[in-house]
């Protein structure tokens, strides 16, 4: 993705996050991006596909950045906690990203597909090792609960009802306790300091 296209996608995300809908007037997009209409058309194969393309880009970047952030973590409980907390922190760090996720994650499955991948894999791994305690056939339900709790915490942060630290640690602690981690350890894991979710560069500077 070249720099202009990346700029267009970022501007489109902000407009979608603020205004809703799945289409944008080219004049509004050009104004938000600070580009000419001609540049917009030259860098979009099909403007009507922009919303779908933005969703794909956000989903791919989020998945890659989360895998990088958790790459050195061996404990499945730590990984699940980090996945929830880093998602919530990014909402604080990048409010437009958070508003986009909050607005569309429930209707665009690709934005929530991450939760059926790495967290689900870690739940199965923790269950097999005896780290977690729940029924084997409940993995999908536990994954949905963790994802839903995270999206709920996102709303608390966006609405200013909880700080990201409060929402992130509370959510992680409650989910860890629900899958069999003791109260004391769940609190300790959920209060560990984490580096912000890395931003994966998708733009080609050339």
Pair (100, 185) in one structural domain:
yes
Bridge partners (DSSP) of residue 2 are 204
User: Does the pLDDT value for residue 193 go beyond 90?
Assistant: yes
CATH number at residue 164: 1.10.357.10
Pair (89, 185) in one structural domain:
yes
Pair (74, 87) in one structural domain:
yes
Burial label for 12, CB within 10 Å (0-12, 13-18, 19+), is buried
CA proximity to 36, closest of 9, 10, 4: 4
Pair (21, 101) in one structural domain:
no
Given a contact cutoff of 8 angstroms between Cβ atoms, the answer to whether 100 and 162 are in contact is no
CATH number at residue 42: 1.10.10.60
Segment 178-193 shows an average pLDDT of 97
Q: Rounded mean pLDDT of the chain?
A: 93
CB < 8 Å & 24+ apart, contacts of 154-159 = 154/87, 154/88, 154/91, 154/98, 154/101, 154/102, 155/102, 157/88, 157/91, 157/92, 157/98, 158/91, 158/95, 158/98, 158/99, 158/102
Pair (41, 116) in one structural domain:
no
Residues sharing a CB contact under 8 Å with residue 36, sequence separation 6 or more, in sequence order: 30
Given a contact cutoff of 8 angstroms between Cβ atoms, the answer to whether 88 and 98 are in contact is no
pLDDT range class, residue 206, cuts 50, 70, 90: very low
Pair (65, 107) in one structural domain:
yes
Provide the residue range defining the domain that includes 11.
Answer: 3-49
Lowest-confidence segment of 17-26, 61-70, 106-115, 182-191 by average pLDDT: 106-115
Pair (144, 177) in one structural domain:
yes
In tens, the pLDDT along 112-163 reads 888 889 999 999 999 999 999 999 999 999 999 999 999 999 999 999 999 9
Given a contact cutoff of 8 angstroms between Cβ atoms, the answer to whether 14 and 34 are in contact is no
Pair (61, 151) in one structural domain:
yes
Pair (59, 13) in one structural domain:
no
CB < 8 Å & 24+ apart, contacts of 182-187 = 185/77, 186/77
Given a contact cutoff of 8 angstroms between Cβ atoms, the answer to whether 53 and 194 are in contact is no
CA proximity to 84, closest of 15, 170, 16: 170
Domain count, the chain: 2
Tell me if residue 95 falls in helix, strand or coil. Answer: helix
Q: Is residue 142 part of a domain?
A: yes
Q: Is residue 61 part of a domain?
A: yes
């Amino acid at each position: 993705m070249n720099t202009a296209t990346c700029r267009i996608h970022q501007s489109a995300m902000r407009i979608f996050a603020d205004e809703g809908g799945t289409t944008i007037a080219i004049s509004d997009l050009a104004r938000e991006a600070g580009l000419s209409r001609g540049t917009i058309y030259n860098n979009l194969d099909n403007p009507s596909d922009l919303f779908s393309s933005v969703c794909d880009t956000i989903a791919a970047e989020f998945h890659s950045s989360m895998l990088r952030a958790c790459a050195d973590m061996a404990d499945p409980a730590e990984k699940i906690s980090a996945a929830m907390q880093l998602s919530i922190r990014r909402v604080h760090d990048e409010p437009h990203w958070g508003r986009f996720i909050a607005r569309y994650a429930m209707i665009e499955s690709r934005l929530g597909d991450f939760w059926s991948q790495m967290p689900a894999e870690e739940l199965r791994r923790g269950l097999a090792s005896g780290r977690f305690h729940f029924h084997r056939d409940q993995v999908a339900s536990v994954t949905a609960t963790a994802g839903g709790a995270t999206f709920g915490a996102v709303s608390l942060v966006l609405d200013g009802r909880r700080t990201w630290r409060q929402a992130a640690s509370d959510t992680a602690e409650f989910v860890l306790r629900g899958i069999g981690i003791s109260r004391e350890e769940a609190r300790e894991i959920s209060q560990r300091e984490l580096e912000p979710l890395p931003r994966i560069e998708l733009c080609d500077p050339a």
